[in-house]
Structure 1
Amino acid sequence: MVDISDAFPGFSVDDVGAARAFYGDVLGLPVEESMGGLRLTLPSGQGVFVYPKDTHEPASFTILNFEVADLGRTVDELNAAGVVTKIYTDPHSFGTDERGIAWGSKTGQGPDICWFRDPSGNVLSLIAQ
């Protein structure tokens, strides 16, 4: 058996400086330089490695889900900071409102959730607790 002491997720970006500013200044996560990239610390204490990649292609799936107490207020705060939350424009695909929020709890179709992208185009979400 392999003796593994820990594990952590990671994803690529095309601009480490922009990622540092976005994850640190806009989302308010602790960010530090690590192994030639960045280490984000999530509210749970889990570390996430963000590494530069010249041939970066944005993840087409959600790489991080951020739980929030007040989804509407948090979406408004992100929008005020210049973050576009309505990334799915087909109202039939997720049934989002004008701000991009899918109110799944009201329709019995999952959680209340909203998607957005980081500066490198990776998909992230806000999800109601």
Structure 2
Amino acid sequence: MSDVDAARAFYGGVIGLGVEDSMGGLRLALPSGQGVFVYPKDEHEPASFTILNFVVPDIGAAVDDLNAAGVVTKIYDEPHSFGTDERGIAWGSRSGQGPDICWFRDPAGNVLSIIGA
């Protein structure tokens, strides 16, 4: 991450995680009770893979909430890219291809996802 304030606002305000300042970075409290430490890095380059997955009871409602907060959830547009719909949801349960999942990016450009329970 390159901007601690943007990360704090996103993970705390938009995603709804507990966020604490810690050693120049942030400690994120995950719903499981576990913690993740994120820290600033000069010349940060976003991960090219999903770094965090969040399980949600209703993926459609969660996507609507993210979109209402200004988060773009349609990040894969290529025809071969997971068969996402207009909101960015890949309905794996409908096709027998896995879970329902939707990807989005944090302010640093890292890919996150929500997965329907």
Structure showing greater radius of gyration is 1
Residue type at the aligned position of 2:43:
T
Matching residue of 1:38: 26
Matching residue of 1:121: 109
Matching residue of 2:51: 63
Aligned-partner Cα distance in 1 for 2:85–2:36: 31
Aligned-partner Cα distance in 2 for 1:120–1:84: 13
Number of matched pairs:
117
1:109 aligns with 2:97: yes
Residue type at the aligned position of 2:115:
I
Q: CA deviation at 1:90?
A: 1.3
Aligned-partner Cα distance in 2 for 1:25–1:33: 14
Residue type at the aligned position of 1:53:
K
Q: Percent identity?
A: 80
Matching residue of 2:71: 83
1:23 aligns with 2:6: no
Q: Deviations over 1:90-119 (max 9, x none)?
A: 132200000000000111111100000000
Aligned-partner Cα distance in 2 for 1:93–1:116: 14
Question: What is the RMSD of the two structures over their aligned residues, measured on CA atoms?
Answer: 0.6
With structure 2 as the length reference, what TM-score do the two structures score?
A: 0.98
